[in-house]
Structure 1
């Protein structure tokens, strides 16, 4: 019989609900996509190359968090601290990139209330950004535990649960990046 820790099961159920949440946001973006022909849209407003660089940082952070989890699992406290620090740095780079993009777009007149594209774009990417921020807070907590010597093998479920959430956030971003940044430029 397959057993799962209650904490990880709770996270898995939460993430299942998040699939529905992001699914609705993505469907709304796609539903209104034909309306974006006039005025600002993804093809004439976004910079897929620059956002692609920030995307690489986010995807790399999944690897570093995986390494942090493996380090913790094997009792390598120094490794866990280093990999958690790298994860925080990479996640922060992604969020800073998103903030920079928002500032540039607002400067160009692409606002949440200025067009249907702006509304759906900021809603979709903004909610994703909030999820990244939530994940970074959890990773900061893990880093604090690691730095104080309280992140032990006994707490590996906490690291695994945060890792599950973080990987989910990354997968959602891959879908968003493909649909919002890549597809309109094909």
Structure 2
């Protein structure tokens, strides 16, 4: 196992690890506050304009959204494996896995960017130029797409932070900075990465699958 030092305010490395992990859980709980207002807005729109929300959801790129879901699920598996590899001092394996995790995160952003580009071309970005194919649901659709861009954009921002963090640890391991990319820090990064993935697993059905079941 990795022999890690601990700060003077902790009795041992195990106590420090527990404190760091607990701190990350508290941080992730506060991060939900960013998504809360948008999710509340979505719930309101879904309950008051169900047909309009369903019609707008059917115009999302469900194939690309599904591919991105598979990409993030795969990245979570690799991230969990990287954490275990780091704990057992399999440094090179952990480094390669972290690089793969970051690469999959970038793939997700590229695919998401292509979705945004298509939606821009289809004039589905809320604003003066918004033009929904079905005029009956245009107002509800504009609300949906406002929430869609807000939720997915906020998620993409969090994912970008996760990519930078994972890359930093991968580079640290490649340069022999094992203390910087300690097992505890990589594990905390893993918690953050899984949080971002769970958020997407929640967003995927409410944004892409509404109105497609029947």
TM-score between both structures, scaled by the size of structure 2:
0.79
- Provide Cα deviations, 1:49-76, integer angstroms capped at 9, x if missing partner: 2210111111111111111111111111
Structure 1 residues 148 and 154: CA distance shift in structure 2, 3 A? closer
Counterpart among 45, 51, 57 of residue 42 in structure 1: 57
Q: More helix by proportion, 1 or 2?
A: 1
Structure 1, gaps ≥5 residues long: none
Counterpart among 120, 124, 127 of residue 154 in structure 2: 127
Q: After TM superposition, give the deviation of residue 154 of structure 1 in Å.
A: 7.7
Aligned to 1:158: 185
Aligned to 1:96: 110
Aligned to 2:4: none
Superposition pairs for residues 2-17 of structure 1, below 5 Å?
5-17=18-30
Counterpart among 6, 26, 35 of residue 22 in structure 1: 35
Aligned to 2:134: none
Q: After TM superposition, give the deviation of residue 38 of structure 1 in Å.
A: 8.2
TM-score between both structures, scaled by the size of structure 1:
0.90
CA distance in 1 between counterparts of 2:54 and 2:33 reads 30
Q: Which structure has the bigger radius of gyration? A: 2
Structure 1 residues 123 and 135: CA distance shift in structure 2, 3 A? same
* Mapped pair 1:58 → 2:72: yes
Please tell me whether the aligned partners of residues 62 and 166 of structure 1 are also in contact (alpha carbons under 8 angstroms). Answer: yes
- Provide Cα deviations, 1:80-138, integer angstroms capped at 9, x if missing partner: 11101110111111111111100110110011333212211100110011010111111
Structure 2, gaps ≥5 residues long: 1-13, 131-141
The Cα RMSD (Å) is 2.2
Name the SS of the counterpart of 1:5 in structure 2: helix
